[in-house]
Each structure stands twice: as structure tokens, then as C-alpha cells.
Amino acid sequence: MRIATWNINSITARLPRLLAWLESSGTDVLCLQETKCTAEQFPRDELRELGYEAAVHATGRWNGVALVSRVGLEDVVEGLPGGPDYEGVHEPRSVSATCGPVRLWSVYVPNGREVGHPHYAYKLQWFEALRAAVAEDAAGPRPFAVLGDFNVAPADEDVWDLSVFEGQTHVTEPERAALAALRGTGLTDVVPRPLKYDHPFTYWDYRQLGFPKNRGMRIDLVYGNEPFAKAVGDAYVDREERKGKGASDHAPVVVDLEV
């Protein structure tokens, strides 16, 4: 069973690439983030032609998450139970479902903007709500994973130059502590480091030749419980999908399960 996560950075802009990638990669379940569309605008028909159904939590131009599956979608939960609002809005940043033998969450953690900003406090609150919401599934006997854009680099080596990020979000101690607390529910990072290359980054800024110069970050993660982790046969970042005209600024992260 092949599972992947991908911050698509607008499913409308990236639809031809998405459909081609699903066909070529043989992915069974894809967790999407930053769909940037309403639920009504989501391309269900095009995906259905390839044999996929979708669980979508999206409300408009920003944010938006989805689970796209060809092995079933059951017990769908839209939104983060107990999650905080930001400026009175409950943003569409989480959707979960049972896909065949596994339970999966697709999450798009708030960016945080800058240290001290209200969005930074919101990010930490959101992480705490996520930790509480997944604790039961994480400790259970069924393969379970939280996948998505976490907007945190877990370790110093997960950014191309730590000095560039000094004092900024994505690398601060409170953010990394929140990520560690999430792992503390019984989850582990199932994508090994290093992979087939020295720096398995998943995001590269469009500006200043970020991708050609490999000035990236590893912020797209797959955290699985023990039954999920034991079933992992392979994992990789599909850097090829970050290349070329019209690419997202994130690459898909792919995990193969022997289930």
C-alpha cells in the first residue's frame, strides 16, 4: 500500500500535474494540503475517473486539506476536534479518515508568521489540540499516521542553513517542543534521515533559486504509530515532482506499507 503527503499549493493550478503524478506513482492514498479552493471546487470528477474518492475540508482561497483514496474512505472527520479558532474563524486544516487497513490524518499546521505574532500563539495552541485529538488512535492497535505540512523543521539539519533561520519560526524551541509532544503520544518519524541523498528536504522557496541551490527545509512529515512504523517498507521524497514549470514549492513524501 502506497501512502503519500503533498502540499499542492493550489489544486486548481496543479491539477494536471496531480493527475499525472497519481497515475505514474501508483499511490493508493494521498494526503493533500493547501488546496486553496472550496469543497465545491475540488476536482472530484477528475479524480473519480482515475478511481479515487476524496474527503475534503476546504472553504475558499486559503488553506484547505483533503484525503484522496482508491482503497476506501470511512469515518471521515472534517476539522480538528477541540481545535482553536484564529480571529473567529475555524480554519480548514485537518481531515481524517480510515482508508483500508489504516487510519490517516492530513494536516496543515499554521505557519506562525513570526515569533510573537498572534498566529504563532495560535500555531502552538493548534499543535496542542492536535496532540490531544490523536492520542487515542496513536496508542491503538491499528496502523495510524498523521501526515502533512507541519511547518516545523524537527532538527537543525532539516534546514539548509540554520543561521538564516535564527530567531524565525519553524525552528524555535517551542515549536519543536510541540512537535516532540505530538511524537510523545506514541508516534515516530517513519521517513529515515538520510534517505538516498544527504538532505531530504521537502520544501524549497520559489525565490532566489531555492530549489536549484537546494536551499530547502524538511517540514512535510509522516508520523506513524508502532503498527504503522513496523509496516513501512520504504520511504522517499519525490524531488522530481518539484522540478519544472508549474511545480508546487513542496515535493511529495511517499511511504510504502506492507499491509
| Length of the chain measured in residues | 259
Contact 119, 112 (CB under 8 A): yes
Whole-number pLDDT of residue 197: 55
Higher pLDDT, 60 or 222: 222
Task: Indicate if the pLDDT at residue 97 is higher than 70.
Answer: yes
Whole-number pLDDT of residue 7: 98
Mean pLDDT for the stretch of residues 12-38: 98
Task: Please state, rounded to an integer, the average pLDDT across all residues of the chain.
Answer: 95
Contact 175, 134 (CB under 8 A): no
Mean pLDDT for the stretch of residues 95-122: 98
- What's the pLDDT band for 18 if we cut at 50, 70, 90? very high
Whole-number pLDDT of residue 200: 82
Mean pLDDT for the stretch of residues 224-234: 97
Contact 122, 91 (CB under 8 A): no
In this prediction the pTM is 0.96
Q: Report d(CA 55, CA 72) in Å as an integer.
A: 10
pLDDT digits (tens, 9 = 90+) for 174-206: 999 999 999 999 999 999 765 555 558 999 999
Q: Report d(CA 7, CA 192) in Å as an integer.
A: 20
Amino acid sitting at position 236:
Y
pLDDT digits (tens, 9 = 90+) for 46-59: 999 999 999 999 99
* CATH number of residue 134's parent domain: 3.60.10.10
- Residues annotated as catalytic (active site), given as ranges: 108, 149, 250
Task: Supply the range of the domain harboring residue 32.
Answer: 2-257
- Total domains in the chain come to 1
Joined together, the cell numbers standing for residue 251 give: 515535493
Q: Which residues, in sequence order, are bridge partners of residue 186? A: none
Binding site, annotated residues for Mg(2+): 7, 34, 149, 151, 249-250
